[in-house]
Amino acid sequence: MSPGPSGGDTGTALGSEAGLAKTDGGGEGLWIYVWRQFKRNSLALSAFYAVCLLLLTALSADFLANDKPYYLKYRGQSYFPILRGYLVQMGLAKWPAELLNVDFKKLESEKALFPPVPYRASNIDLTAPFESPSGPHWLGTDKLGRDVMAGIIHGSRISLSIGFVAVGIALVVGVVLGALAGFFGSWVDMIISRLFEIMLSLPTFFLLITLAAVLPQSIFITMAVIGLTGWVGIGRFTRSEFLRIRNLDYVTAALALGVPNRRVMFRHILPNALAPVLVSVVLGVAGAILLESSLSFLGIGVPADTVTWGSILNEARSNTFAWWLAVFPGAAIFITVLGYYLVGEGLREALDPRLRGSR
């Protein structure tokens, strides 16, 4: 319902007094300075490390939670099932007959080294539904016996990728349109500003539901839809930055020298205009993750056999005794979103020249 937790039109003064980044990158550039400022905020720094940890988890999900072992010694032969699984998927290898579609946990092997969570998010076990957090299932299971910990680990991939791709789309669209509006002004600006207005007045959530309900359920479509409805903030920031920077001396000089428009826009103005946009991007990722959880709640957005944080949470709604289905994915969303916000806030403060003195 509300705009992000970080301030409003701080786009105006940022970047300029803090020192423009020279296009050849010499000397202490803007970003090095920003990083030093950022580091002084211990809360934001911890959040940053937490987010990095999260990203790492998402990238290595297959190695953290999998029903295949890392290493298997069976009937005298050594195998590396996880790796082999990748190769088979790519068509570069075959499964030996004795390991075809086998349940590795039930195999009588001499040695088997399993990942810390020996389940995939989709492994159904009808004999163990609704297990509370206990021995074999650290965070419990859901109504079909799927392990919640595995679900959270693999779910992080979906949530984070939706966040990044959606915001990526929003970034591209927003920056391009904002740049065009801010740089050329006059009628280009007028049309694009009307477009901003239209997008702002659209009942976005309503539109999202409609689109998600009528289009095929796929993660990509959800990402695209979230991105295409959320670019306005970025667009406006970019526009105001471009409007401001365009009138600065060095830009006028470049144009007078005959540097083509496109070059001026993307090599001279854009790097300096990006600072406030970056904050929006970080917050946008968090917003997209929250949005995805709302869509999963309403039962739309991701395919039926994909386990996401939102889908586990949705199950908790009708099974209120299974508190672990609500607590853990809810906490995962919460921690992720909080992490991104704190990073975004820290970034904003690091970029804000007004606070430089008061620290």
Partner 1 sequence: MKRAGRCLVLSGLLLVAACEKGERVAADNAASQPAAAQAGPPTTGDWLINHSLSDPEQLNPLTSNDGTASEILGYIFESLLTRDPRTLELRPLIAESRPAISQDKLIYTFKIRRDVHFQDGRPLTGEDVLFSVKAIKCPLVNAPFLRVYYNSVVDAQLLDKYTIRFVTKEPYFLNESQLGGITILPRHYYDPENLLKDAAVRDLLRDPSQLPENVKNFAANFNENYSRNPMGSGPYKFLGWRTGQDLDLVRDVNYWGKGKVGIDQVYLDRVKYRIINNQDAALVTLKSGGLDLIDRLTPVQHMRGTGSERFNRQFQKLLYFTPFYSYIGWNNNHPIFKDKRVRQALSYLTNRRQILKTVLFGLGELVDGPIYFFRPEYDKSLHSYPYDPKKAMDLLAQAGWKDTDGDGILDKVIDGKTIPFRFEFKSPSGASTGKSVVLVLQDELKRHGITATIREIDWTIFLDDVKNHKFDAVVMAWGMPASEPDEYQVWHSSQAANRGSNHISYKNGRVDKILEDYRREFDAKKRVELYREFQKILNQEQPYTFLFASKFVSVVHRRFRGVEIYPAGLKPQDWWVPPSAQRYASKVMAP
Partner 2 sequence: MGSYIVQRLALLVPTLIGISLMGFLVTRLAPGDPAELRAAGGLGGAREAALSRGKQSAVDEAMAQWRAQYGLDRPLHVQYGIWLKNLVTLDFGESFKDNQPVWNKILERLPVTIKLNIFSILLVYVIAIPLGIYSATHPNSWSDQTATFGAFVLFAVPLVWAATMAIVFICGGDFLYLFPPAGLTSLDYAPDWPWWEKVADQAWHLFLPVVLLSYDGFAGLSRYMRASMLEVLSQDYVQVARAKGVSERIVVLKHVMRNSLIPMVTILASILPGLIGGSIIIETIFSIPGLGQLGYEAVLARDYPIVMALFTVSALLTLLGILLSDLLLAVVDPRIAFGRRAQ
The residues in 311-330 that bind partner 2, with binding defined as CB under 8 A, are 313-314, 316-317, 320, 326, 330
Q: CB of residue 14 vs partner 2: minimum separation in angstroms? A: 12
Among 158, 337, 343, 351, binds partner 2 (CB under 8 A): 337
Distance from C-alpha of 261 to C-alpha of 259, rounded to nearest angstrom: 7
Integer CA distances (angstroms), 312 to 138, 147, 148, 321, 323, in order: 15, 11, 8, 14, 11
Q: Where on the phi/psi map is residue 74: left (φ > 0), alpha (ψ -120 to 50), or beta?
A: beta
Angle at 184 between CA 279 and CA 257, to 5 degrees: 100
Q: CB of residue 94 vs partner 1: minimum separation in angstroms? A: 3
Integer CA distances (angstroms), 183 to 2, 25, 175, 190, 319, in order: 30, 23, 12, 12, 55
Residue 191 binding partner per list partner 2, partner 1, none, with a CB distance cut-off of 5 to 8 Å that depends on partner kind: none
* Residue 282 lies near partner 2 (rule: CB under 8 A): no
Q: Which is nearer to partner 1, 129 or 168 (CB)?
A: 129
List the beta strands (DSSP E) in the chain: 71-74, 77-79, 111-113
Residue 159 binding partner per list partner 2, partner 1, none, with a CB distance cut-off of 5 to 8 Å that depends on partner kind: none
**57: CB partners within 8 A, 6+ apart:** 64, 153, 156
Task: Give the per-residue contact string, 30-69, with partner 2 (x = CB under 8 A; - = no).
Answer: -------------x--------------------------
Name the one residue in this structure whose structure tokens are 């090095």: 32
Residue 19 binding partner per list partner 1, partner 2, none, with a CB distance cut-off of 5 to 8 Å that depends on partner kind: none
Of 149, 85, 142, 84, the C-alpha closest to 119 is 149
Q: CB of residue 143 vs partner 1: minimum separation in angstroms? A: 7
Among 57, 204, 217, 218, binds partner 2 (CB under 8 A): 204
Q: Which is nearer to partner 2, 109 or 294 (CB)?
A: 294
* Residue 224 lies near partner 2 (rule: CB under 8 A): no
* Residues of this chain that bind partner 1 (CB under 8 A): 88, 91, 94-97, 100-101, 103, 122-124, 126-127, 129, 143-145, 213-214, 216-217, 299-300, 303-305, 317-321
* Residue 286 lies near partner 2 (rule: CB under 8 A): yes
Return the half-sphere exposure (C-beta side, CA atoms, 13 A cut-off) of residue 115: 20
Name the one residue in this structure whose structure tokens are 């937790």: 5
Distance from C-alpha of 155 to C-alpha of 148, rounded to nearest angstrom: 10
Distance from C-alpha of 25 to C-alpha of 16, rounded to nearest angstrom: 16
The answer to whether residues 87 and 93 touch, using CB atoms and an 8 Å cutoff, is yes
Residue 205 binding partner per list partner 1, partner 2, none, with a CB distance cut-off of 5 to 8 Å that depends on partner kind: partner 2
Q: Which is nearer to partner 1, 5 or 96 (CB)?
A: 96
Residues that bind partner 2 (CB under 8 A): 1-10, 43, 194, 197-198, 200-211, 213-215, 286, 290, 293-294, 297-298, 310, 313-314, 316-317, 320, 326, 330, 333-335, 337-338, 341-342, 345, 354, 358
